[in-house]
Amino acid sequence: MTYLNSNALLELLVQVRLLSPAQQRFILENRDKQAQHLIRQFGGRRRDDTVKLPLGFPDLVDIILSLGMQTPGPKPEPLTEEMILKAVGRELGIPFTNLDPLKLDMEVVTKYISKTFAIRHLLLPLAVKDGVLQVASYFPDNQQVLEDVERVTQLKVEQFLATKQDIKQILAEFFGFQHSISAAESQFGAADSGASSVDIGNLEQYVRLSTTQELSSTDQHIKAAVNHLFRYALEQRASDIHIEPKRDACTVRYRIDGVLHTIHTLPKAVHSAITSRIKSLARMDIAEKRRPQDGRIKIGRGDDNALDVELRVSTVPVAFGEKTVLRILNPEIMFQNLDGLGFSRRDRAVYNGFMSAPNGLVFVTGPTGSGKSTTLYSTLKQVATPEKNIVTVEDPVEMVYEEFNQIAVQPQIEVTFSNILRNILRQDPDIIMIGEIRDLETASYAVQAALTGHLVFSTLHTNDAISSVLRLEDLGLEPFLIASTMRGALAQRLVRRICPHCLERYRVSGESLARLGFPVSGRDSVELARGKGCPQCRNTGYLGRLGIFEIFPMSAQLKKLIATRANDNELRQIAIREGMTTLREDAWRKVRAGLTTVEEALRVTSEA
């Protein structure tokens, strides 16, 4: 392998047009000065090694990046470490890889190379395939180090290049977590952790996440492991954490953008200890393992500017122990600007009318996981003012917010939706939010509240907005009461958003789209968008989610039809004639706008 000194690297970057000759001369004229600056900046030492002259590859890369160079040409862009490594990899025949921690095996990362050796030489084992150890490296010319790895592991080594920041971060996370799990396994073995009854009177327990460095210095290994799971879930934008006991192991999975990913497979011996730690934080009874339990945890992320996150904890007994699921309730997601949820201009105007109404019933419908809570919380936050008394009744309270007066349903002590609603009307509310209307008694109190001058928001489990009327009739409400109190209904789903980093345009025939039910001419081709797949989206082509909506406002004609018990087809025809956009039509609008794909639109609207 050719040794890549600083002059050769600069020549290569000029040759591949990442630098101009003028930029090359500037770097050569200033590199010694920049090297001395790096020495002073890090107290006489570099982050990885002492700065030496002549400069080696890592030193020169740091100097180039510190100068803020941009690529030459008509469309300049900032020169990045990834661009440099890809160019070097092509020159030396070493493939570059973007590291995805979700696809790495913790056992492989931590088994073959010691932590000290890996950090010193910035080496990250990736996988073992057919007797070959694949290793990501930051240094392109460390052949001697790779030969040492081959000699120790007795495996042939295949080298890849990766950025320094990615390698260092994954090494710190994986070795820190592995140390905690190994120590905990030795500590607990097959024995269960001690259990005692705890006070479950408080709504939440506050936990502040420590950094990896802080955690590694403590002997409280289970605490460190649980903190790692929480912190890593936040970094990966997970909405749920699943901790599942198996026959011989414990599996940890995260749900990211609606899809579950297996993150860790842990020793079975630590499962009980991890579960007990989480139950203790959630103020649940750690001695009770035979019955389902619910609790919640509030965590701080170690950043003074970051909002605290709440975790809703649920445990249930399964075949091999207790399964724990933690729903991550991030205020940055739960409390959004309504304009960012995905409303069209027409639907946003209609929904504004719902929010500004002095009284009436407004329903948000959809299956579990369709974003109803986010819409309702974002709505309540927008209308919350010191002049308004907002009361919510929830089962359970999803997100604690000081501006609301939130009440948790507790059936075991007869604190039910209907009982609470009867008392809420004596609390002088302006706006009431009911977590879900499940029975006639609750629906009757909601109607009573609407008739007496209150604006009431609630949810129903229906497939579309029109069906909310039929659902209320099925519960036993009189049609004339529905017609006189209901302001409207909003049905919604969540679709995955196309990753902006790998978005590409393509054309598809109108005929094929028309066969799928989209309103296009069969003679024309249509330009759509999709994600090719990249490291930012983990090669899924999607990054984040947005809502699609069907808003059904109540009109005079619809009120008359409801009062005469019209069926859903009649109501739908009139609503569409008056301008209602269906879920499928709104999904198609977002497909045409390049926000999501045809596949996503079909997936979430197939039953709507």
Q: What is the mean pLDDT of residues 423-434?
A: 90
Q: What is the mean pLDDT of residues 242-260?
A: 90
Q: What is the mean pLDDT of residues 11-36?
A: 78
Omega within 30 of 0 (cis) for the link into 54 = yes
In a domain, 512, yes or no: no
- The partner residues of 393 in beta bridges, in order of sequence, read 407, 434
Domain interval for residue 308: 202-329
Whether the pLDDT of residue 203 is over 50: the answer is: no
Eight-class DSSP state of 412: G
Which residues have C-beta within 8 Å of that of residue 424, sequence separation ≥ 6?
Answer: 391, 393, 407, 432, 449
Q: Is 577:598 a contact under the CB 8 Å cutoff?
A: no
* Of 278, 299, 329, the domain-final residue: 329
Structure confidence at residue 25 as a pLDDT band (50, 70, 90): confident
In a domain, 430, yes or no: yes
| Mean pLDDT of all residues belonging to the chain | 83
Q: Helical H runs in 452-499?
A: 467-475, 479-485
In a domain, 589, yes or no: no
Same domain (yes/no): 417, 302: no
Same domain (yes/no): 452, 551: yes
Same domain (yes/no): 356, 487: yes
Q: What is the mean pLDDT of residues 11-15?
A: 84
* Of 70, 93, 116, the domain-final residue: 93
Give the integer Cα–Cα distance in Å for 341 and 333. 10
Q: Is 431:388 a contact under the CB 8 Å cutoff?
A: yes
Q: Where do the DSSP E strands lie in 89-220?
A: 123-129, 132-137, 156-161, 205-208
* Of 306, 329, 352, the domain-final residue: 329
Nearest CA-CA partner of 452 in 428, 436, 469, 435: 428
In a domain, 605, yes or no: no
Residue located via tokens 């990046």? 65
Give the integer Cα–Cα distance in Å for 350 and 370. 20
Give the integer Cα–Cα distance in Å for 68 and 27. 11
Same domain (yes/no): 311, 455: no
Q: Is 459:370 a contact under the CB 8 Å cutoff?
A: no
Q: Which residue has the higher pLDDT, 197 or 606?
A: 606
Q: Which residue has the higher pLDDT, 64 or 559?
A: 559
In a domain, 183, yes or no: no
Structure confidence at residue 559 as a pLDDT band (50, 70, 90): very high
Structure confidence at residue 217 as a pLDDT band (50, 70, 90): very low
In a domain, 159, yes or no: no
Whether the pLDDT of residue 449 is over 80: the answer is: yes
Give the integer Cα–Cα distance in Å for 497 and 548. 11
In a domain, 161, yes or no: no
Whether the pLDDT of residue 35 is over 70: the answer is: no
pLDDT of the residue at 33: 66
Same domain (yes/no): 317, 351: no
Which residues have C-beta within 8 Å of that of residue 492, sequence separation ≥ 6?
Answer: 364, 365, 366, 370, 371, 372, 375, 547, 548, 549, 550, 583
Q: Is 328:337 a contact under the CB 8 Å cutoff?
A: no
Structure confidence at residue 47 as a pLDDT band (50, 70, 90): very low
Least confident range from 17-21, 176-180, 255-259, 554-558: namely: 176-180
Same domain (yes/no): 287, 210: yes
DSSP H or E segment with residue 323: strand 321-329
Same domain (yes/no): 355, 247: no
Structure confidence at residue 4 as a pLDDT band (50, 70, 90): low
Same domain (yes/no): 263, 381: no
**Angle of helix 81-92 relative to helix 6-15, nearest 10 degrees?**
100
Same domain (yes/no): 301, 382: no
Q: What is the mean pLDDT of residues 201-223?
A: 54
Structure confidence at residue 72 as a pLDDT band (50, 70, 90): confident
Q: Which residue has the higher pLDDT, 218 or 115?
A: 115
Same domain (yes/no): 324, 343: no
CATH of the domain at 302: 3.30.450.90
pLDDT of the residue at 496: 92
Number of structural domains, the chain?
3
- The partner residues of 477 in beta bridges, in order of sequence, read none
Least confident range from 58-72, 128-142, 156-170: namely: 58-72
Same domain (yes/no): 301, 368: no
Q: Which residue has the higher pLDDT, 189 or 116?
A: 116
In a domain, 442, yes or no: yes
Q: Which residue has the higher pLDDT, 31 or 194?
A: 31
Same domain (yes/no): 238, 350: no
CATH of the domain at 553: 3.40.50.300
Give the integer Cα–Cα distance in Å for 292 and 99. 38
Nearest CA-CA partner of 245 in 279, 275, 284: 275
